[in-house]
A and B are shown apart, each in its own frame.
Chain A
Amino acid sequence: MNVAFDINGQPVEVQVEPRTTLADCIRHDLRLTGTHVGCAHGTCGACTVIVDGDAVRSCLILAVQMQHAKIVTVEGISNDDALTPLQAAFRKHFALQCGFCTPGILITAHALLTEEPNASEDRIRDVLSGSICRCTGYIPIVQAVLEARAAYQVQARSAAA
Chain B
Amino acid sequence: MNVVNSYVGQPIERIEDLRLLRGRGQFVDDLHLDGMLHAAVLRSSIPHGRIIRLDTTAARVLPGVAAVITAAEIGDPVPTIPLRLVPMSDLVPYEQPVIANGKVRYVGEPIAVVVAESAAIAEDALELIAVEIETLPPCVDTRSAAANQSLLFEETGTNLALTYTTVLGDADAAFAAATTDEYYIRRERFDTQRHTATTMETRGLIGAWDSERQHLTVYGAAKVPFASRGMLAKQIGLPESAVDLIEGDVGGGFGMRGEFYPEDFLIPFAARHLDRPVKWIEDRREHLLTCNHAREFDCDLELLCRRDGTILAVRGRINGNIGAYIRSNATIAPRNIAQFFSGPYRIPNIHIESTMLVTNKTPTGTYRGPGRFEGDFFRECLFDVVADDLGIDPVAFRRRNLITRDEMPAKLATITPVRQQEELDCGDYLQTLDRCLAEFHWVDKAKLKGRLIEGRYHGVGIGCFIEGGGVGPRENARMVLESDGSIAVYVGSAIVGQGLETVCVQIAADALEVPMERIRIFHGSTTYLHAGFGSFGSRSTVMGGSAIIDAAENLKKAIRTAAALRLNCAVDDVLLEAGMAKSPDGNVVGWTDLASENLRADGTFFCDRRTYGYGAHAAHVAVDPGTGHVEVVDYVAVGDVGRIINPMALRGQIVGAIVQGLGSTFLEHLVYDEDGQLLTGSLADYLLPTAIDYPNIRVFDQEEYPSPNNPLGAKGAGEGGIIPVGGVIANAIASAIGVQPKSLPLSPSRVWELMNP
A residues lining the B interface (CB < 8 Å): 17, 19, 27-28, 31-41, 43-44, 46, 73-75, 78, 83, 87, 90-92, 94, 96-103, 106, 125-126, 128-142
Contacts and interface: CB of A to CB of B under 8 A. Distances in A.
B655 A139 contact: yes
Contacts of B16: 99
A74 B695 contact: no
Contacts of B656: 97, 134-137
Contacts of B688: 132, 134
B30 A33 contact: yes
Contacts of A103: 23
Interface string B3-44: 000000000011011101111111101101000000000000
B154 to A, nearest CB: 38
A129 B692 CA distance: 6
A101 B682 contact: no
Interface in B162-209: 197-202
20 contacts: A27-B30, A33-B23, A34-B24, A38-B202, A41-B284, A91-B13, A97-B252, A97-B653, A98-B201, A99-B20, A99-B251, A100-B200, A100-B201, A102-B20, A125-B692, A129-B690, A134-B660, A134-B688, A135-B252, A135-B498
A134 B637 CA distance: 19
Contact of A40 (B18, B198, B284, B649): B284
A122 B167 CA distance: 51
B662 to A, nearest CB: 9
B418 interface: no
Given A39-B683, A142-B695, A87 B21 contact: yes
B659 interface: yes
Contact of A106 (B21, B250, B253): B21
B201 A94 contact: no
A129 B253 CA distance: 22
A74 B22 CA distance: 6
A46 to B, nearest CB: 6
Nearest to A75: B23
Q: Could you tell me the dominant secondary structure of chain A's interface residues? A: loop
Contact of A101 (B24, B200, B695): B200
Contacts of A141: 691
Contact of A100 (B17, B120, B497, B682): B497
A103 B690 CA distance: 17
A86 B496 CA distance: 25
B443 interface: no
B72 interface: no
A58 B25 CA distance: 19
B694 interface: yes
B250 A98 contact: yes
B316 interface: no
A70 to B, nearest CB: 18
B697 A96 contact: no
Contacts of A136: 652, 655-656, 659
A74 B24 CA distance: 9
B518 interface: no
Nearest to A93: B648
Interface string B680-700: 001110001111111101000
Contact of B200 (A98, A128, A140): A98
B684 A41 contact: yes
A138 B199 CA distance: 15
| 7 A-B pairs with least C-beta separation | A34-B23, A98-B497, A99-B20, A100-B251, A137-B659, A74-B23, A33-B30
A98 B252 contact: yes
Contacts of B251: 36, 38, 98-100
B30 A99 contact: no
Interface in B644-679: 648-649, 651-653, 655-660
Contacts of A99: 16-17, 20-21, 25, 249, 251, 497
Given A38-B201, A74-B23, A97-B656, 9 more contacts: A36-B200, A38-B200, A41-B684, A83-B21, A90-B21, A94-B651, A125-B691, A135-B498, A138-B695
Given A41-B682, A91-B14, A134-B198, A17 B120 contact: yes
Contacts of B252: 97-98, 100, 134-135
Interface residues of B, number: 58
B283 interface: yes
Contacts of B201: 36, 38, 98, 100
Contacts of B348: none
Contacts of A131: 690-691
A27 B26 CA distance: 12
B21 A78 contact: yes
B499 interface: yes
A99 B24 CA distance: 10
Contacts of A75: 22-23
Contacts of B697: 137, 139
Nearest to A139: B655
A90 to B, nearest CB: 6
Contacts of B26: 33
Interface in B682-734: 682-684, 688-695, 697
B639 to A, nearest CB: 15
Given A19-B120, A138-B691, A78 B649 contact: no
Nearest to B662: A137
A103 to B, nearest CB: 5
A36 B24 CA distance: 11
Given A94-B649, A98-B497, A137-B659, A129 B22 contact: no
Which of B14, B23, B25 has the most CB atoms of chain A within a 10 A radius of its CB? B23
Nearest to A92: B13
B424 to A, nearest CB: 28
Nearest to B651: A94
Contacts of B284: 38-41, 44
B22 A78 contact: yes
Which of A92, A128, A138 has the most CB atoms of chain B within a 10 A radius of its CB? A138
A128 B652 contact: no
A91 B21 contact: yes
Which of B24, B693, B694 has the most CB atoms of chain A within a 10 A radius of its CB? B24
Nearest to A44: B683
Interface in B80-105: none
A136 B660 CA distance: 9
A56 to B, nearest CB: 17
A10 B71 CA distance: 48
A31 B32 contact: yes
Contacts of B30: 27, 33
A46 B23 CA distance: 12
Interface in B608-652: 648-649, 651-652
B11 to A, nearest CB: 8
Contacts of A126: 691-692
Given A39-B284, A97-B499, A83 B18 contact: yes
B692 A137 contact: no
Given A33-B30, A134-B252, A134-B660, A43 B692 contact: no
B690 A91 contact: no
Interface string B437-454: 000000000000000000
A129 to B, nearest CB: 4
A95 to B, nearest CB: 9
Interface in B470-511: 496-499
A132 B690 contact: yes
A97 B683 contact: no
A27 B29 contact: yes
Contacts of B197: 134
Nearest to B649: A94
A139 B199 contact: no
Contacts of A139: 655, 659, 695, 697
A135 B499 CA distance: 11
A40 B200 CA distance: 12
B659 A138 contact: yes
